[in-house]
A and B are shown apart, each in its own frame.
Chain A
Amino acid sequence: MAPSASKWALGFGGLALVFVFGCGVFDTREPEDPGNLDTIDLSTPTDPDTVLTNVRRSLEALLATAYASQINEEFVFVPDPIDEAEFPVVWGKDQEEQAHISILTDVDSVTLTWGDAGEPNVDGDQQWYDNLPYSLAFSRGQDDAVFSGIVDLYLLELANSTFQIIRWEDLSDGTGAPTWGRLRIDRSAF
């Protein structure tokens, strides 16, 4: 490489970096101040129980983005066989977040109740709740709806020792109530 060419290369490289970082391409928008609204009380998910609490608080605050922060990028949802036919082949974090934005729109209140599944099982860097019961109650105007089922919920411990949900195996609890998976597919579009 000729010295003059090297200078050109250095010059172009420097200009590219100045353009990328100096032209405000990474500037974020200024959020509106929520004023006196109550902020959501999420904790750093240092154990699986905290993740369950954060999921409950996120949904009850009707904040799908807060719920999505508890979901790992490699997330996989496995629906109950009766719901399976209408699910797309891949249901990952993007589908999960978009479905919950839709689910939590135009809703007055949500109440999530996790049943007791005991301590999570441990397997390497994953912990999972076996047959964890759930009940999700919605209120919209005069209408109420309840979705319930059981889930094998897998959580991954990340390198920074925090946990995220990585797999959700959804099953009907046989009460006749539709599952959370049914809710996802009914309120989603692909």
Chain B
Amino acid sequence: MSFRIGLVLLVFCLFVGPAHAQSDTETQIAPDDSTKTMTWFDRLGVQPEYRSSFRVNRTSTNWDESLQLNEQFGSIAFATDWNVGFQQNPTQNDRRQQTGKGRVSLEHVSDTFGGWSFGTAGELNQRSSRTDFSSQTSNDSEIGLVLSSGGLGEALRRNRDWAVDTFTWDVTGTAGITSEYTASERRSREEGNPLDRADSTDASGFLREISTELFYAPRESWTVTVDAKANRVREDFKTDLAFPDSSAVLEGTNENENETFNVTASWKPSRDTSFEFRHNRVHDVSQEFSTTELAQDTRTGTERSVSLSLKGEPFWGVEHLISASNRFLDTEYVLADRGAGSDGYSLGGTHSVKLGRLWGPVQKTALEFEWRWGEKALSYDTGNSYDSETVKARFRVERPFGKRLVVTGQSETNLEQTFYEGGENDRDVLDQRLESNFKYDLREGVETKLNVFWKKKRSLNIREAKALANFDETNVTVTASYGWDLRPGMKLGQDYIVTAVSSELPFDDSKSDLARTSQLQTTFAGRIGERVDLRLEHKFQFKDSGRYELEEDRTRRFAKETEGTQQWLETEASYRVLRRFVVFINQRYEIRIKENSNTGKISRRPRTELKWGWNLLHDFNEEFGITTKFDRVNATDELSYWKGSASLTKAF
């Protein structure tokens, strides 16, 4: 139903306002002002922009609508921004969600005294989500007076004789009133869905905020920006609690505050060299009703981060990118047992070079080396705090041999070590990878590739009680493929992939297993005339898995447990109605057969799928564009469904 409503609205939108049809060869036609009719908005002298989007995936639908308007009437600036969204999924306990946001501001703007403005701004947010057994609602609004001034920047510029693009300093102050309502409710599946628990909070109060933005560029190569903001909100609240056999009321005052400070500095001494420094600090205190503690709780959060990066090519043609950072986070609750903190450092670099003629036989070889080191301490009120260390090294080499062959090799090693309080959960994870890739152009229009990939992951719990879960997993994958351009618009390709995954338990050699997969995939794509495209794809996969069993002489024997094949055949025909409007039909048949070697049980799962739809990307003119992509899927193993999205942008 929602899908039909969506389509009707989109079709309606297609016919509102003047529009030009898309030509067969052009996607955009310049608007012809002589034929444009005067709209109500033109008469009012305003140009709002409307956006609409719709998504559907089986039973889940999602609508999003927004309207934006920024206008200047002489010295009066008016801005408004509205957004509403709806989500629904009847199969998930009838899950429904609505969101709404709105913002309006009206300001008097002046260029004098470095530029200033004074006006009022209001904001409204609404969110509601519910299922058959639960609901959650939150509404909040605020309205206030806003005063902004660039006067401090102007005064300093005059005093120091700086240009406008060298220094600016804007300060904004806001004062206003706020109101907030939140409610949540949980119900039981028993007859009549009796109430399990509910709470609702009403709060209203006063806010004040001051923010400042400073920009300073003393030289062309130097830039510094500083942003800072502080706000306070004081609200009186009343919370009603309801349980099946009791109720309670809480009343009090919330004191919320937030302070933010950001600094960014960059220096670019030469074309190839640049430094960047960033510092960020946030401190906030917020009070709200805690559904876990069933009381008003206070949360205090602190975040600090510092980072430094350097990019340069100082000598020998070697490019360096080096970065270092520190990040500190801390969250504390007065009542809840949910406080946490982290403090981490990281250092890393990437160094690359392409060898020149002087290197003789190895010239044109590109080398890249990447390294990372990190240390982090995490603490939790609930226990299980830990420190972790990570280290990574990656080395990549690429070398062309003549014009047809390019060989690439890469190795990568990652180690993460965690050290828990008491050591009970201490763990090391070592990940090693090797990869080589050969790309060879057999002749014009025929490309071949060979990829060999090896990966070993060791997951080691250190303490004996957990070490029984230790495992080593080894992956080997070999992929050989070719693509052949048979003639313009017609291509044939095949991929052959062999994969083996084995898992071993270091402390129990009687439990190790192996899974093997072989896959052959063939793709043919061709074009008939100018408008019809055909695609044929076939995939065959053989997969078996089993365990290694220990014989009496301690030798291992592979005992197969499952064996199966999967096969897909897919055909697709598409017709290009216009250059960016394509309709298609797709038929897919697949069958999965799996046999359990121990029980002899064979399961067959055939599936047929018919899919049709369209893909439209169309700009009627500069002000009106629409994008839709929809599939209708009829499959033998589930109900028919729509999948796709549509969006529309219209500037009036």
Establish whether residues B468 and A40, one from each chain, have CB atoms under 8 Å apart when the complex forms.
yes
A39 touches B (CB below 8 Å): yes
CB of B188 within 8 A of CB of A3, answer no
* Chain B positions within 8 Å of A121 at CB level: 637-638
Partner of B358, one of A6, A25, A80, A131: A6
Q: Is B135 an interface residue (CB 8 A)?
A: yes
Selected from A17, A31, A159, the residue in CB contact (under 8 A) with B395 is A17
Closest to B318 in A: A9
Closest residue of A by beta carbon distance from B187 = A174
Q: Are B515 and A61 in contact (CB under 8 A)?
A: no
A89 at the interface (CB under 8 A from B): no
Chain B residue at minimum C-beta to C-beta distance from A16: B369
Question: A68: nearest residue on chain B (CB-CB)?
Answer: B459
Give, as a whole number of angstroms, the nearest-CB distance from A82 to chain B: 4
Residues of B within 8 A of A82 (CB): 133-136, 184-186
B469 adjacent to A101 (CB under 8 Å): no
Q: Which residue of A lies closest to B605 (CB)?
A: A119
Complex contact A34–B316 (CB within 8 A) = no
Contacts of A141 in B (CB 8 A): none
Per the bound structure, the CA–CA distance linking A31 and B427 in Å amounts to: 9
Q: Give the complex CA separation of A28 and B290 in angstroms.
A: 43
Known A28-B428, A82-B136, A174-B93; judge A39-B188 contact (CB<8 A): no
Whether the pair A81, B136 counts as a contact (CB closer than 8 A) is yes
CB distance from A70 to the nearest CB of B (A): 12
Q: Which of A28, A86, A174, A175 has the most chain B CB atoms closer than 10 A to its own CB?
A: A174
In the complex, the answer to whether A81 meets B134 with C-beta atoms within 8 Å is: yes
Chain A: how many interface residues by the 8 Å CB criterion?
72
Taking the complex as formed, is B531 at the interface, i.e. its CB lies under 8 A from any CB of chain A?
Answer: no
B338 sits at the interface (CB 8 A): yes
Query: Do A162 and B515 touch across chains, with their CB atoms under 8 A apart?
Result: yes
- Once the chains bind, are A31 and B461 in contact (CB under 8 Å)? yes
Give B629-645 as 1s and 0s: 1 = Cβ < 8 Å from A's Cβ atoms. 00000000110000000
Residue contact B425 to A34, C-beta cutoff 8 Å: no
Q: Which of B97, B130, B184, B513 contacts A43 (CB 8 A)?
A: B513
Choose one: B97, B356, B430, B469; the contact of A61 (CB below 8 Å). B469
**Is B463 an interface residue, CB under 8 A from the partner?**
yes
Q: A39-B507, A98-B384, A102-B384 are in contact. Are A80 and B291 (CB under 8 A)?
A: no
Check A26/B358 contact, CB under 8 A, given A13-B369, A69-B459, A189-B340: no
Q: Which A residues lie within 8 Å of B316 (CB)?
A: 1, 5-6, 8-9
Q: Is the CB of A65 within 8 A of B467?
A: no
- Interface status of A172 (Cβ within 8 A of chain B): yes
Q: Is the CB of A44 within 8 A of B501?
A: yes
Interface window among B154-162, B212-220, B266-274, B375-383: B375-383
A25 partner residues in chain B, CB cutoff 8 A:
391, 393, 415
Cβ B413 vs Cβ A105 within 8 A? no
Scoring A residues 74 to 106 as 1 if CB is less than 8 Å from chain B, else 0, what string do you get?
A: 000000111011100000000000100110010
Pick the residue among B317, B369, B384, B469 that contacts A39 (CB under 8 A).
Answer: B469
User: Chain B residue with minimal CB distance to A8?
Assistant: B316
In the complex, the answer to whether B417 meets A172 with C-beta atoms within 8 Å is no
Q: Find chain B residues with CB under 8 A from A105 CB.
A: 383-384, 424
B292 contacts A63, CB within 8 Å? no
Whether B514 pairs with A44 at a CB distance below 8 angstroms is yes
Residues of A within 8 A of B (CB): 1-3, 5-6, 8-9, 13, 16-17, 20-21, 25-26, 28-29, 31-35, 37-44, 46-47, 58, 61, 63-66, 69, 80-82, 84-86, 98, 101-102, 105, 119, 121-122, 130-131, 150, 152, 159-162, 169, 171-176, 185-190
By Cβ-Cβ distance, the 5 closest A-B pairs, closest first, are A174-B189, A82-B134, A174-B133, A32-B464, A189-B380
Seed contacts A29-B460, A105-B384, A162-B515; 5 additional CB < 8 Å A-B pairs:
A26-B413, A81-B131, A102-B380, A119-B637, A189-B382
